[in-house]
Structure formats: C-alpha cells, structure tokens
C-alpha cells in the first residue's frame, strides 16, 4: 500500500453522507492501520482566539475553527504552513507534506510566530479504519488528488471543492459545476 499522506480526498457528487458532502479532506496520516484527515472547507463562526487564545493571532483569514470531521469534535488538530527553511528543525511541528504539517497546540505559539505563513485549527477529524478508505475510493466516493501547499489555507474555504476539481481539467473540471441536488435542476 502506498501512503496517501499529504494528498486530498475530494468528495464525489455521489457521496451524500452529510459529514462529507462536497468536502475536501487533507490526509495527515495514512498507514496500514487506517487513515486520518481534516475537512478543509467547513469553517465555523467560532474565532480561534476565543478557544485557544494566542494561537488566534497566528490563524489566517478566516481565523475561525474548522469542522475537521465527525470524530472527537472536542479535540483539536492544528495545521500550519511553515517557511520552508524551518520545517526540519522545529520541535512541535510534524511534517505532513512539504512545508505543511501539524503543530502541537500545547507548545508556546510565540515559538512559531516568525515561522508560520498559514495556520488553521480543526475541531475533530475524519478517520478510517484499516482498508476502509481504500474501499470508499474503489466504490467511487472519493477522488484522490495531489494537494497544493496553500489548499489548507485558502481565504474562501467554501470555494475549495469546485476550485480543486476545476484545476484537474477535462471531465473533472465539469464535475465542479455539478448541482448539489440534481432533482432541482
């Protein structure tokens, strides 16, 4: 099995689970035991500063918590995009792909202040047991695409689903215009 860590899962229009309808998930871990990711395009209205104090100063617009997924919504996962020259030697940062990784929220945010170029905090996460994600992909529930470093930090997260599909070109670009409810078409 080749790891999909750092790749995007983009919900196909046929995936109607309300937890994942039109979502874009960044996989932060994918191993033989399962997979873990965060939904990138479900912003809440809760400011990061209201929940995590000084971390809120480092969050980029929109500087709110995101719904990372249905598993353990009381937990938090922090993604950061670091200056490329600082990713390898910074404790509290776990690289996912390139300059993007997870950050230990128990650390002092001031240690990261001059190194972060983007930060998002996710309440909960999306998780799959061993083989479950691969089965869902084979069943046509997910497209799997390479992530760009800025995908997790776009200023308009609601636009991420069609944006990722459009950049694939050809027929996948047309999927970006698929109506949410075809019966209303």
Q: Is the peptide bond before 62 cis (omega within 30 degrees of 0)?
A: yes
Ordered per-residue pLDDT tens for the chain, 185 residues: 689 999 999 999 999 899 999 999 999 999 999 999 999 999 999 999 999 999 999 998 999 999 999 999 999 999 999 987 765 677 899 999 989 999 999 999 999 988 999 999 999 999 999 999 999 999 999 999 999 999 999 999 999 999 999 999 998 888 888 776 555 55
Domains detected in the chain: 7-184 (3.40.1740.10)
């Amino acid at each position: 099995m080749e790891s999909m860590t750092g790749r995007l899962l983009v919900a196909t229009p046929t995936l109607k689970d309300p937890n994942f309808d039109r979502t874009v998930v960044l996989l932060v871990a994918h191993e033989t035991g399962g997979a873990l990711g965060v939904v990138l395009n479900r912003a809440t209205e809760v400011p990061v500063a209201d929940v995590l104090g000084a971390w809120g100063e480092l969050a980029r617009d929109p500087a709110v918590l995101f719904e990372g997924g249905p598993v353990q919504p009381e937990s938090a996962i922090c993604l950061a995009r670091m200056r490329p020259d600082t990713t390898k030697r910074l404790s509290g940062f776990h690289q996912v792909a390139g300059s993007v990784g997870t950050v230990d929220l128990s650390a002092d945010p001031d240690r990261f202040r001059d190194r972060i170029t983007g930060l998002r905090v996710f309440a909960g996460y999306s998780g799959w047991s061993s083989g479950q994600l691969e089965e869902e992909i084979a069943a046509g529930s997910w497209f799997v695409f390479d992530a760009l470093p800025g995908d997790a930090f776009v200023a308009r997260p609601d636009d991420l689903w069609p944006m990722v599909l459009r950049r694939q070109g050809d027929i996948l670009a047309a999927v970006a215009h698929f109506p949410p409810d075809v019966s209303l078409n």
